[in-house]
Chain A
Amino acid sequence: MCPVSKFKDAEHLIRLVGAFVVGFAIFLLLRAYFVPKSFGEYGHYRGAALAELSSKPISYAGHQACEDCHADVLQAKKAGKHAGVNCEACHGPLARHAEDPASVVPQLPDTAVLCARCHEENIAKPKAFPQVVSKQHSGGKVCKSCHVPHSPLLQPGGKQS
């Protein structure tokens, strides 16, 4: 069979291949346009995401920020049982206060609710952890009436340590 007629008979296939090539070219164009520039910088992800995720605003200042201003409280805590309890564990997130102390005045937490969270007796708490059944322990009196939160352990005789 002569090559010219062979070509003619397969011409529609060549047109089809052409259509595919055009399609592929469009795909490459889309790719160049839509894929974010930082993609692939560190791995198969948008490199800029690292900076973005590092830049989110914080809510908890971290105890060091508190201690820089409230050194007196740090002193009181140091010798007591709550030495390892960070400020915001009880006082809540205070980054805004640390950044601009006058703008946010933190509310003192209500000890009637706060202390029970850790110290109310619970079957799953470690046995050595100080826990009480508050009704039996204080008979309804609020914790602060005997304990100072920053250094809570009472000496025998009811005196604050």
Chain B
Amino acid sequence: MITRRKLLVLLPAAAFAWKFVLAGTPEMAPNYNRSEHWWGMLLDIDKCIGCGNCVRACALENNVPEGYFRTWVERYHVSDWHQESPQVESPNGGKDGFSPGAAVGGKNFFVPKMCNHCADSPCTQVCPVGATFHTPDGVVLVDETYCLGCRYCIQACPYGCRFLHPVSRTAQKCSLCYHRITKGLTTACCESCPSGARQLADLKNPADPIHEFLKTHSVQVLKPHLATGAKAYYHDLDASVR
């Protein structure tokens, strides 16, 4: 039963929440200026516990079809110093978590993977029609109403983060939850990560805590020799990670 008292509490709270939570066909927050942001992500291997929350959250937030992944988690096992031949697995992308694993020694850790939103992305370079592109705020997006489904971008991505949507038959990938970050929210994966292994970073905002982190800790990107300008920064990334 909704009493007057409850209403007095609920209405202003709801009004305040409304500012952040807009349903239907919400536009981005009116004060969002694209040129003031340059988005990246910090992935802290030290903190990833392989719970799979991020994979599930992304699938729910973005209607990702079963069997395809906008983000996924890999588990690595590196025995002794054999950096060149790790054993890696990603059962259903880590969506259902991982089995406890046999105690075999060596190094074992989780690595979350996603689109790196490269500043010099090979995928946007090869798109024949301009269906995939960089936004002014550094996010690589796919325009699904324009994509032909030629899959050149999927071939060109060195990180395997793209796929062809089985229903729309257009290319798809992580959009850095563009519909959320333009409203001042964080991405679905970061929101649901319980350990802070995934954190959205605004590289143009000096007040962003990740800024400081990136300046004071060792970070790496995947496949740096390909000079893609990847903006998904990994902390504590082992040499065996591909």
Contacts and interface: CB of A to CB of B under 8 A. Distances in A.
Q: Establish whether A and B are touching in the complex (CB under 8 Å).
A: yes
Interface of A: 36, 39, 42-46, 49-65, 68-69, 82, 84-86, 88-90, 92-93, 95-96, 98-99, 101-102, 117-118, 120-126, 129, 131, 133
A117 B97 contact: yes
Contact of B133 (A43, A92, A121, A126): A43
Kindly list the 7 A-B residue pairs having the minimum CB-CB distance in the complex, ordered from nearest: A45-B133, A123-B101, A56-B179, A49-B143, A124-B108, A54-B28, A44-B130
Contact of B26 (A43, A57, A63, A90): A57
Nearest to B189: A60
A54 B27 contact: yes
B182 interface: yes
Contacts of B136: 42
Interface residues of B, number: 67
Interface string B1-45: 010000000100110111011111111100000100000000000
B141 A60 contact: no
Interface of B: 2, 10, 13-14, 16-18, 20-28, 34, 46-53, 57, 60-61, 75-77, 97-98, 100-104, 108-110, 130-136, 141, 143, 145-146, 175, 178-180, 182-183, 185-186, 188, 191-196
B109 to A, nearest CB: 5
A58 B101 contact: no
Contact of A89 (B26, B110, B192): B192
A89 B193 contact: yes
Contacts of B133: 43-45, 49
A52 to B, nearest CB: 8
A69 B10 contact: yes
B98 A46 contact: no
A49 B146 contact: yes
A84 B110 CA distance: 20
B50 A53 contact: no
B146 A45 contact: yes
Given A55-B28, A86-B192, A45 B130 contact: yes
A63 B194 CA distance: 12
A63 B192 CA distance: 9
B185 A58 contact: yes
Contacts of A90: 194
Nearest to B97: A117
Contacts of A64: 20
A82 B196 CA distance: 11
B24 A57 contact: yes
26 contacts: A45-B133, A45-B143, A46-B130, A49-B133, A50-B141, A52-B145, A55-B25, A55-B27, A57-B23, A57-B24, A58-B23, A58-B26, A58-B185, A60-B188, A64-B20, A86-B191, A86-B194, A90-B194, A93-B57, A102-B2, A123-B101, A124-B101, A124-B110, A126-B48, A131-B49, A133-B100
